[in-house]
Amino acid sequence: GENVEQHPSTLSVQEGDSAVIKCTYSDSASNYFPWYKQELGKGPQLIIDIRSNVGEKKDQRIAVTLNKTAKHFSLHITETQPEDSAVYFCAASTDSWGKLQFGAGTQVVVTP
């Protein structure tokens, strides 16, 4: 089955700096790669996703890149703000419906 590895496990950045989280996946058939943000005491919130026919996608301060050859994808957050502090999860899916395989998560701390 699919295996998703996520690094780093924790990331501390100064406000205004950029943050990058990287994930690798094992199943070359994976074709959908979402990123979720989970704040303390809340459920995961979908913040951006990318499909295998696209190499990069951007939404304001966040962007995701996908390298299908190397089987890795990354989340980039620019101009970080304290409200970006949360746990971020990557995931991958090969199925047409459901069955997301999640990475272990990255705790991001943005210090003012």
| Contact positions vs another protein (CB under 8 A) | 31-32, 34, 36, 42-46, 49, 89, 93, 95-100, 102-105
Phi, psi of 82 (to 5 degrees): -55, -30
For residue 28, the 8-state DSSP code is: T
| Helix/strand/coil for 74 | strand
The minimum distance between CB 6 and another protein, in angstroms, equals 8
Nearer to another protein, 34 or 86 (CB): 34
Phi, psi of 83 (to 5 degrees): -70, -5
The radius of gyration of the chain from alpha carbons, rounded to an integer in Å, stands at 13
Nearer to another protein, 14 or 40 (CB): 40
Nearer to another protein, 25 or 89 (CB): 89
Give CA–CA dist 62/44, Å, rounded. 16
The minimum distance between CB 36 and another protein, in angstroms, equals 7
The minimum distance between CB 43 and another protein, in angstroms, equals 4
